Structure 1
Amino acid sequence: MAGLLLVTLAGCGGSEEAEQKGGGGRGGPGAQGPKQVGFVVMQQTSVPLTTELAGRVVAYETAEVRPQVTGLIRRRMFEEGALVRQGQTLYQIDPRLYSAAVNEARANVSSAQANREAAQILAERYRPLAQQQAISQQDYTNAVASARQATASVAQTRAQLETARINLRFTNVPAPITGRIGRSLFTVGALVTASQTDPLAVIQRLDPIFVDIQQSAAELLALRRALASGGVSPTQAQVRLTLEDGSDYGRTGTVQFSEVMVNTSTGTVTLRARFPNPDGLLYPGMFVRAGFAQGIDRGAFLVPQEAVARDAKGGATLWLVGPANKAVQRGVVAERTQGRYWVVTQGLKVGDRVIVQGTANLRPGGPIIPVPANAPQRVAPPSKEQMEKAGDKAGGAPKAG
């Protein structure tokens, strides 16, 4: 047992000596040397400020079909859910009373015209008699006034006739716009009035169509400040939609305008985008996600996502190739992504070499061997000296143990 203890102590001492000479054994940095890392050189680029917000589909035009006269519905002249054209007759209201009113007004016009002719003739006859003082001047004045009143009566009855004709035309209820009509809220035989609150039907124009997008006032304020500072340029926003099932709509739209007031209950501002909808895929009330660019950041950097890590506080950090090929860790501002890149707005400058490969186990100030990212690794057979050293280590291990 004493001899076994001496052999064990000798083996341990040999291991410690080998570790001191080798700089930490096979796993130590002295054995591995500087670590090879891949880097990319940073260049400023123009990056769109994209955002994705919730939205609701809204009809391009909406019109309620309402009666303008009172009466019974005699006919419904459309198919529910069909496409109707502007001016197309949708309902027919019983026209008999309004046709009779037209005839009465026409007769009143004829009567007024006859009275006007008689009054004008009488005034013309009184003129020479009044000049000869065969009649009093007052009689002539009354005759002229009666002729003028008869002329005004003709104009009045003609206006009544035109009103009666308009009411008669209103018995045919037309479509105010072109669009898709919904269900009929009144049936044949129902009594409708000109002052009723319920529409007969509703027509909506669905091509093109609007999408109302809600953006927080704080985000909009930050964007406007960025535009005012000059670092961000405005752009014509092309909007893409993601439907409720997660699929892409396939057609792009454009932002038409932004509301000039903030909704007090939600703290948001409404942006309205216009989309083509020839296939009728979008319906009013549908929930969608809208992604679009509101500006272009001219001083941003695109960094591959594998190069950026997050610390315990959520801050973004990355590794750089520092002076004398030393690893340097730096904090940056990366608040959004674009494809497979982080958009870094602060913390980098043109020409910085960001490490994107071999970031594991790096330590600040540690020596590294930087090579361009994705550079092919050279693989060569070991030299004769390396083979001899490996053989010596392999042969000495049993002796030490």
Structure 2
Amino acid sequence: MSGPVSADDVRAARELLRDVTVTTPILESRSLSAKVGGPVLLKCENLQRSGSFKARGAYVRIARLTDEERARGVVAASAGNHAQGVALAATLLGARSVVFMPEGAPLPKVAATRAYGAEVIFGGPGVDACLTAAKAYARDNGAVFIHPFDHADVVAGQGTVGLEILEQCPDVRTIVVPVGGGGLIAGIAAAVKELRPDVRVIGAQAEQAAAFPPSLAAGRPVAVEPAGTMADGIAVGRPGDLTFELVSKLVDSVVTISEETLSQALLNCLERSKQVVEPAGAVGVAALLDRPHMFEPPVVTVLSGGNIDPLLLSKVLRHGLAVAGRYLMFRVRLRDRPGALVTLLTELAELEVNVLDVVHQRTAARLNVDEVEVLLHLETRGPDHCDEVLGRLRAEGYTLSFT
């Protein structure tokens, strides 16, 4: 017994899920393997039903309610993945579901939650407000509140990912897991450490929403104020009491990842592994990119979800290209005379730059009457090519601005 959740609990959860969830594939990443110096495999929970691992825990939790409890319905609060997991699980089990979502939740996630069968109510500007509204709804209407991570049934359900990893990669030495509230890593660690105590389990959090490192240092759950992060799926301000207990006992370490590395990881998943992954789902890949020598291979990292808003995807990919030195954006001032823009674009063509967008501004307080300003979005081949482009333009007398 590893604590409040054991390997036997996870096995029992797996029996409940046998004909419900998918045993997601494990794919080798050659680019990450070369960086780490040994096999790196991706556990593709982005290909799970509802697009993330959340359906596992939600189904186990709702399946273990009494008939009378299910008849009263369930309620949850979520910005996306937990919402979809609860909606799907409740529909499969014949229960009514209500999900409180933030007012700014991406429309594709709202639409998917409704399509899985839930009633969506906008509960305020953020997840915290939605949690308050969902708990009030449960109290007033008798519905059962389904916590996104801090419940033994939810943790046991998420832990089935760990059982699959041990079966699919028997020689695994390190498992890297995205961490928000801790339900996924707590479940994986509960299963793996009891069956294979030699395997290291390492968590990865976005550094702008990292509640576990200060909590582990303090020896108790500590609340932090999550800053803006693209990894909204793991932007949790405080670990759960249950998940903190399991993580503090069983997890070897938790590392934090910058936004820049996270955007590179998303680009790596898309370009090299052909996997559409949301930023929260790619944080384990980011950890491997950031600290490749920290992880003993064979390594399995969990791609925890793939529910990304297409608009966010385009922004994050552009950011990832910029960080990788493959995207340039700057302003250039030109004399307002015929042929000036053509001359500039000819220079760029000779440098074999792909011009993605050109914005030509003729009137602005900062411009002289004989000047125009051009905003350029360029695609380059990498950092050396960027340096070549900028050096050539400056040598030709162009004044560049990056603000």
Same-fold call, TM > 0.5? no
With a CA cutoff of 8 Å and minimum separation of 6, indicate the structure with the bigger relative contact order: 1
1 or 2, which has the higher strand percentage?
1
Which band: TM-score by shorter chain? under 0.3
TM-score of the pair, normalised by structure 1: 0.21
